Structure formats: structure tokens, C-alpha cells
Amino acid sequence: MTGSSAGASTAFGAGDSALGYLYQIRMALLTALRRINPAADEDFSVYLETLDDVVFESTGTALELFQLKHHSNTQANLTDASPDIWKSLRVWMAGRESGVVSADDRLVLITTQTIAEGSLASKLLTGNRDEAGAVAILRAIPGSSTNATNAPAYEAFQALGPKEQLTLVSSIVIAPNQPNIEQVGVDIRQEVRFTVRRDHVDSFVTRLEGWWFTK
């Protein structure tokens, strides 16, 4: 596993608060720890703030691009017109248009928020997907929403042909109810608990995160 925060500039910011960026760093570490498989002996690379908030790349496989959205109010629902969804779509559409994001790349929106049954997000989970239903909701939203922040994304999505819209949506996975920044720390501790002696776990995690933040 290798890590990088090369900081390639993009047209879109990762977030206005330092907390959001720290969340990206911690979630990247947690996700990387969960992917390590000593038996498989497969290398992968992790990038922050390059093509997306977090990018995972393995030799011979498509990229996985993560948009991470951290909210203090984790009980709020991720609505169909949420700027979190539409900003992510805009980033991914721009990436595809420029050629830096391919049709094979997996596009993942990770959010601490919950989702409602029948919502756009509920149709794009890892299982029981309804991609055609998601496209129908995405097509309808611009006509019923007055959110000026989303206007560029609305326009870009409407400019896509029906096949392009479905292809884009088919690449998207929404992961709601994800741990907040404090819980991520707890989850990291759980991932490494069998790596060192129990009485050394806290010091090991402190050193690991220190090394990771430096990277």
C-alpha cells in the first residue's frame, strides 16, 4: 500500500472545513486497512485530493473514486436535491468529459447522513439497485428544485443523452450512515486490534495515524 496527497488542483474544492479534510484522511486510512489482504499479496495505491477526495488504484483494475461528506447532524436525510449528491455528480461528469475518469471507474459517495426509503440514494446502494429508477428521479429533480447551487450540475446532467445518463448512474454507489470522524478512530482501533498486544493498541494507533498524516 502506498499513500499520496499530491494535491493536484481541480475545479472543485474538497470542502470548506478542516474537519472535512481530516475526515478524508482518516477514512482513507480505515478503508486501506480493510483492504489489506496478506494472503492475496496485492498492492494498491491511495491518493487524496487528486481525481477525487480519495482514490484507490490497484494494478489491472479500474479506479475507485470517493466523494466523502461529513455532517455533524448524522440524523438528517440525504435528500434527492442534496448538494452533496449533485456536487458529486458534477465532479464525476466533468472528470468523464475531460477523460480523466473512465466509464469503468467506480464512483462512490460516502456520507454520514441517513437515507429515506424510495429516495434516489436508496436506489444506488451496493445491493437491490434500481438504476433506471434513479435516472428517472435525477431527470425530474431539475424541474422541481430551485437550488441555485445545483444549477450547473442540473444543466450538465440534462445535457447527457439517455444512454450516457444510465451509464453514469450505473457506476455510482452511495454509502450512507457511515461513521463520523470520531467513530472512524474507534473503527481504526478495531481493525488493528489483532496486530499488536492489547495493551499496545492505543500507542500503535497513535503512531500509525501520525505516520499516515505525515504521508
pLDDT at 15 over 60: no
Which pLDDT does position 7 carry in this prediction?
A: 39
Residue 10: pLDDT band (50, 70, 90) is: very low
Q: Torsion-angle region of residue 49: left (phi > 0), alpha (psi -120 to 50) or beta? A: left
Interatomic CA distance for residues 141 and 155, integer angstroms: 11
Exposed / middle / buried, residue 212 (Cβ in 10 Å: 0-12, 13-18, 19+): middle
Which pLDDT does position 37 carry in this prediction?
A: 75
Which pLDDT does position 73 carry in this prediction?
A: 73
Per-residue pLDDT tens digits for 86-128: 999 999 999 999 999 999 999 999 999 999 999 999 999 999 9
Which pLDDT does position 142 carry in this prediction?
A: 93
Task: Please report, as a single letter, which amino acid is at residue 9.
Answer: S
Task: Please report, as a single letter, which amino acid is at residue 159.
Answer: A
Which pLDDT does position 1 carry in this prediction?
A: 57
**Would you report the helix, strand and coil content of the chain in percent, each value rounded to 5?**
45, 15, 40
Residue 11: pLDDT band (50, 70, 90) is: very low
Q: Are 109 and 84 in contact (CB under 8 A)?
A: yes
Residue 164: pLDDT band (50, 70, 90) is: very high
* Residue 114 β-bridge partners: 77
Q: What does the pLDDT average to over 39-65?
A: 86
